[in-house]
A and B are shown apart, each in its own frame.
Chain A
Amino acid sequence: MRFILRRLGFYIIAAWASLTINFFLPRLIPGDPASTIFASSRGQLRPEQLDQMRAALGLSKEPLLNQYFTYLSHVLRGDFGTSFSAFPAPVTAVIGNGFVWTLLLGGTALIISFILGNVIGIIGSWKRGGLIDNTLPPLLIFIGAFPPFFLALLALYFLAYQFNWFPHLHAYSDTIGTDFNLNFVGSVINHLILPATTIVLVTMGGWVLGMRNTMVGVLAEDYVTMAEAKGLTQRQIMFNYAARNALLPSITAFGIALGFVLSGQILVELIFSYPGLGYLLIKSVTSLDYPLMQALFLMITFAVLGANFIVDILYTRFDPRVRTG
C-alpha cells in the first residue's frame, strides 16, 4: 500500500509538470491563433475581419502567468475551453468525436501486436535456431524498419484500390448509419483491418525481439534447470517458469506503448481517412489552436501516466519483490 501511495504522489507531480509544459510549450510557437486562422483563408477574408476573429476567440491580453492559473483552475473543473480551429465547438466535443475511433484502432492493434509478438518471441527463444526463430524476428524487424505511413500507402494502393479487397476510407460504411447492430460491427471490423494490420506489422518486431532476448536470459537461470530436473512438461516450463518471468519488462513496455497509441498512428489514420484524433492533433498544432493542443497533449501524457500507474499496480501482483521494495 505504501508503495502505491508513493507512486501516486509521483504521478501527481508528473501530471502537474505535464499540465504546465502543455500550457507553455504551444505558446512558444511564433504567431498568434487569430492571425493564423485569418491567414489560412489566403486573402479571402478582409483584414478588418481579423479584429472580429480576435474578439470571437476571446484571446486574453492578461499576463501569461495569470492565464496559466486560470487554465489550471479550469482544467481541474474539467473545462477545456472552446476550440479555435473548430470555433465555437467546445474542445471536449471536438475530441469526443474521434476519441473512440483512435482508441479502437490503437487498442486493437496494440493488443494484437503485443500478444502475437510475445508468443512468437517465447516460441522462438524456446527453439533457438529453429525455423520460427530464424525467419520471423529478422523479417519483422525488417518490416518494422519501414515507417508506418509507407506500409499504409502500399496497403491502401494495392489492397484497397488495385484489388479492392478492403474499404479505403472511414471507420464504417457511409451508407449504413450508426445503429449498433451486426451489420455495423461487421463494417467496423472490415474497415479496421487495413489500418490495424499496418500498425501491427510495424510494431510487432519490437515485442518479438524484446521477449526473445529476455527469455534467453531467463532460460539460463538455475530455476529453469531445476524445473527440468523435476521432470515438468516443456509447456509448463516454457509458460509458467520462463515466460512468466520474462513477461515483466514487456508489461512495462505495454503500459508505455498504450500511451503512444494516439501519437503513433497519426499518419496511418490520415492515410485511411480514419475519423480518429490524428488529424486533429496536426491541425491543432498548425492552426495554433491552444485549447485543442493542450487537451490533446494532456490526453497523451495522461494516457502514458495512467497506463504506467496501472502497470505499477499490476506489477505488485506479478512480482512480489516490488511490494516489499
Chain B
Amino acid sequence: MNLSQVISRSKLQLVLPMLVVGSMLLSACGAADSTATPVPAATATKAAAPAATATTATTGGATATSAPVADTPVPAAGKGIMTISVAQQSTWVRNFNPFSGDFRFPTVNGIYEPMMIYNTVKGELQPWLATKYEWSADNKTLTITLRNDVKWSDGQAFAAKDVAFTFNLFKTTDGLQGPGGQAMNGATAYVDTVAAPSDTSVVFTFKQVFTPGLYDIIAQDIVPEHIWKDIKDPVKSTNENPVGTGPFTEIKQFENQIFEVDKNPNYWQPGKPYFQGMRQPAYTGNDQANLATVNGENDYAANFIPDIEKTFVAKDPANNGYWFPSVGATVMLYLNTTKKPFDDVNVRKAISMAIDRDQIATVAEYGYTKPADVTGLSDAYPNYKVADTSTLGDDWTKLNVDKANQMLDAAGLKKGADGMRTLADGSALTYDINVVTGWSDWVSACQIMAQGMKAIGINATVKPYDFSTWYDKVSKGDFDMSIGWSSGGATPFNYYRGQMSQRSAKAIGESAGEDWQRYVSKAGDDLLTQFAAISDAAKAKDIATKLQQTFASEAPAIPLFPGPSWYEYNNSRFTGWPTKDNPYAVGSWFSQGTPEQLIVMTTVKPK
C-alpha cells in the first residue's frame, strides 16, 4: 500500500482540468473580445501551452521511486531525537486534539494515554493508567482501579475524576471521536453513567450487558479535567499546547515541514522514555518517505516498501530491519449476497476454491503475508483461534478447481459451449470485481482472482474505482464482487459482527460501515449475543470457536489474506525495537494512534 493507494489521482484528473479549462475559456473569451492584438492566433496557442502542461501534470499518475541511493550524510538531529515517518502530509497543521479527526502523531497513545493496552502479540491486556478491572456478577457494572502515582505533564495529579470527566464529555458533546464515543454517545451507547467514587476507582454502569465494551473503555485516552473543562468547543479546539500523561507531551518545535515532540518531564514511569523526542518531517507520499528511510534518515517508519529485503535491508543489513506480522484486519472478497447466485453458500465456497491464495500472497503481496483460512481470523487472536482449522469442515479456502466446478454444476449453473456458465434463466455470469484505483497490491490480487474464476466458468473483470467512489459503492451494496478490508479488535466479536450480524446489516442503498455483503446469520447472531453477555475467558473461547464454525460453514464472505502491519526500523541510533525474535508488541504505529505504540515508545533506547 503506497501513496498512490491513499491518494489516487483519477478524480483530480476529472475535476481539475474541467475547472482549469473552464476558467481558461472565461479568460480567453475575455481576451478575444477586447484586445485587438496584431496576431490573435499566436495568443491562442500561447494561452494553451501552459494549460496543456497543467493537464499533463495531473494525468501523470503515480510514479514509484524505489531508487537505490548513494550514501549521503544524515541531517543532524540532536542526540536521542528520533526521526519518524508515520503520517504523510505536505505541510503540518498544528492540532493535538485527541477528539478530532486529523491530530498530529502521537496525540492519541503518545501525548494522551489509555487505561489499559491490548497487546495483540501476547493476546493479553496490559495495565497502563489502570491496574485492574472487575466486572460485577451480572456483568452490568465495570469497576476500574487506577494507579495513584500518575501526573499530568503540567505537574498536577491524575485522578479518577479525569476519567469520569472524559467519558461524560462524550455524553454531553456530539462529534467527539474516540472509542469512548461508542460507549457514551448515540443510539447504540451502552454505558449509562460513569462515576468516580474515589481518586483511584471509576465505576461504569451499563444500560444493558455488553462485555466487549470493555475494550472500547480501556482504549479511550484520558484528558485532564482541569484543562478541558475550560475549553469551550472540544470538537473544534486545536489544543496547540497539550497537557497529557503520556511519554511525549512537549511541543518543542512546530513548523510547516517538520515538528518535534519531546518527552514529558513528569512521566509516571521513572526513567522513561529513554530518548529525548521525536521529529517528523513532512513527506508528501510513501515514495518520498521510503527514499529517506532507505537513505538512513528515518529511525522509524510505518510504510509499505516494495521488495523490502532488496531495497531496504540489503542497503545496511546490520542496522536496517523490518517486521510485518500478519495481525492486520483480513482482506476479503465480498460477494453481494442479496443477488443471485451469491445467495447460495455453495456458489460462494466454489468461487473461493477457484482463488489461488498462495499466488496472491507471494506475487500481489510480495510474500509479506500468507493465505487466510476458513475462519477469516488473522494472527491477532491467539487466544481465540481454532488451532486446527481442518476440524471446521470442508476446506473451501484451498485452491481446488475440480471440486469448485462440481459444486457449481450441482448448484445448477450450467456450462455453455464456450466454457462459461449461465444462470438458470440463461443470463451470463459476468461480473466486475471492484477495487480501488492505484492500490496496486489489491489490484493485482483481483487480477489473480479474475483468472481463477475464468477456470470455473465465471467471467470476472477487475474494475478499479477512485477511493471514495469505490467506498460509496461497496458501503451501499451497489456491487457484485468487491475486495475490501474487515473489522478488527481485541476479540473476534467485531470481526464476526462485521461479517454476519443483524447489528451491522443495512438495506441496499443505505451506507453500511461493515457487512457490505449484506449477510445475516441467525446462528451467528445468537452466538454474538451470547458472546456480548459473558466476561468469563473460557466461555468466551468456547463461543468464539462456535462463531468460527458458523463462519466456516456459512461462508458469508471470502477471506483472502491477513493484512500485514508495516514497520521498518534503523538500529544505528536506537535499539530495542520489537522484532520477530523479540515480539513484545506490534511495531507498526498508526497515525491515528495504536495503543501498543506506547509500549514501544517506552522500551526503545538511544545508543
State whether these chains interact.
yes
| Chain A contact residues, CB within 8 Å of chain B | 3, 6-7, 10-11, 14, 17-18, 21-22, 25-26, 29-32, 35-53, 55-58, 82, 84-89, 93-94, 97-98, 101, 144, 147-150, 153, 156-157, 161-164, 168-175, 177-178, 202-203, 206, 210, 213-214, 217-218, 245, 248-250, 252-253, 255-257, 259-260, 263-271, 273-283, 285-288, 297, 300-301, 304-305, 308, 312, 315, 319, 321-322, 325
Given contacts A275-B91, A304-B24, contact A42 B63 (CB under 8 A): no
B90 and A275 contact, CB distance less than 8 A: yes
Cβ of B511: which chain A residues have Cβ within 8 Å of it?
A: 32, 35
A264 and B54 contact, CB distance less than 8 A: yes
Cβ of A36: which chain B residues have Cβ within 8 Å of it?
A: 467-468, 471
Given contacts A49-B177, A161-B70, A266-B58, contact A260 B50 (CB under 8 A): yes
Closest beta carbon of chain B to A276's beta carbon, Å: 7
- Residue from the list B40, B50, B65, B255 in contact with A206, Cβ < 8 A: B50
User: How far is B182's CA from A57's CA once the two chains are assembled, in angstroms?
Assistant: 17
| Chain B contact residues, CB within 8 Å of chain A | 6-9, 11-12, 15-16, 18-20, 22-24, 26-28, 30-31, 34-40, 42-43, 45-47, 49-51, 53-54, 56-58, 60, 63, 65, 67, 69-70, 72, 75-77, 89-93, 95, 97, 100-102, 174-179, 181-182, 185-186, 188, 216, 235-238, 253, 255-258, 279, 281-285, 288, 291-292, 295, 329, 466-469, 471-473, 475, 485-488, 494, 498, 504, 511-514, 590, 592
B257 and A249 contact, CB distance less than 8 A: no
Given contacts A252-B35, A264-B54, A288-B468, contact A214 B284 (CB under 8 A): no
B27 and A286 contact, CB distance less than 8 A: no
Closest beta carbon of chain B to A197's beta carbon, Å: 15
B46 and A248 contact, CB distance less than 8 A: no
Cβ of A264: which chain B residues have Cβ within 8 Å of it?
A: 50, 53-54, 57
User: How far is B56's CA from A276's CA once the two chains are assembled, in angstroms?
Assistant: 19
Cβ of B76: which chain A residues have Cβ within 8 Å of it?
A: 175
User: How far is B8's CA from A283's CA once the two chains are assembled, in angstroms?
Assistant: 9
User: How far is B498's CA from A53's CA once the two chains are assembled, in angstroms?
Assistant: 19
Given contacts A260-B54, A269-B90, contact A252 B31 (CB under 8 A): yes
Residue of B nearest to A297 (CB): B19
B47 and A252 contact, CB distance less than 8 A: yes
Residue of A nearest to B255 (CB): A178
User: How far is B33's CA from A7's CA once the two chains are assembled, in angstroms?
Assistant: 10
B12 and A286 contact, CB distance less than 8 A: yes
Closest beta carbon of chain A to B89's beta carbon, Å: 7
Question: Which among A171, A259, A279 has the highest number of chain B CB atoms within 10 Å?
Answer: A279
Cβ of B175: which chain A residues have Cβ within 8 Å of it?
A: 52-53, 55-58
User: How far is B65's CA from A325's CA once the two chains are assembled, in angstroms?
Assistant: 54
Cβ of B8: which chain A residues have Cβ within 8 Å of it?
A: 286
Cβ of A50: which chain B residues have Cβ within 8 Å of it?
A: 513
B468 and A31 contact, CB distance less than 8 A: yes
Given contacts A156-B65, A286-B468, contact A46 B487 (CB under 8 A): yes
Cβ of B475: which chain A residues have Cβ within 8 Å of it?
A: 35, 39
B257 and A248 contact, CB distance less than 8 A: no
- Residue from the list B31, B51, B256 in contact with A275, Cβ < 8 A: B256
Closest beta carbon of chain A to B228's beta carbon, Å: 15
User: How far is B513's CA from A38's CA once the two chains are assembled, in angstroms?
Assistant: 9
Closest beta carbon of chain B to A122's beta carbon, Å: 14
B46 and A47 contact, CB distance less than 8 A: no
Residue of B nearest to A168 (CB): B291
A308 and B27 contact, CB distance less than 8 A: yes
Cβ of A280: which chain B residues have Cβ within 8 Å of it?
A: 90-91
Cβ of A161: which chain B residues have Cβ within 8 Å of it?
A: 67, 69-70, 72, 291, 295
A253 and B100 contact, CB distance less than 8 A: no
Cβ of A255: which chain B residues have Cβ within 8 Å of it?
A: 27
Closest beta carbon of chain A to B532's beta carbon, Å: 14
- Residue from the list A169, A175, A277 in contact with B292, Cβ < 8 A: A169
Given contacts A43-B488, A265-B57, contact A305 B93 (CB under 8 A): no
Lowest 9 A-B CB distances belong to which pairs?
A: A47-B513, A56-B175, A279-B90, A31-B468, A253-B46, A206-B49, A55-B175, A31-B472, A97-B91
B485 and A42 contact, CB distance less than 8 A: yes
Given contacts A46-B494, A47-B514, contact A286 B7 (CB under 8 A): yes
- Residue from the list B20, B49, B471, B494 in contact with A39, Cβ < 8 A: B471
Cβ of B12: which chain A residues have Cβ within 8 Å of it?
A: 281-282, 285-286
Residue of B nearest to A298 (CB): B19
A171 and B100 contact, CB distance less than 8 A: no
Residue of B nearest to A6 (CB): B34
Cβ of A263: which chain B residues have Cβ within 8 Å of it?
A: 16, 20, 54, 57-58
A301 and B70 contact, CB distance less than 8 A: no
- Residue from the list B179, B236, B283 in contact with A88, Cβ < 8 A: B236
Residue of B nearest to A31 (CB): B468
Residue of B nearest to A202 (CB): B53
- Residue from the list B36, B43, B237, B279 in contact with A321, Cβ < 8 A: B36
Cβ of A276: which chain B residues have Cβ within 8 Å of it?
A: 90
Cβ of A283: which chain B residues have Cβ within 8 Å of it?
A: 7
A43 and B46 contact, CB distance less than 8 A: no
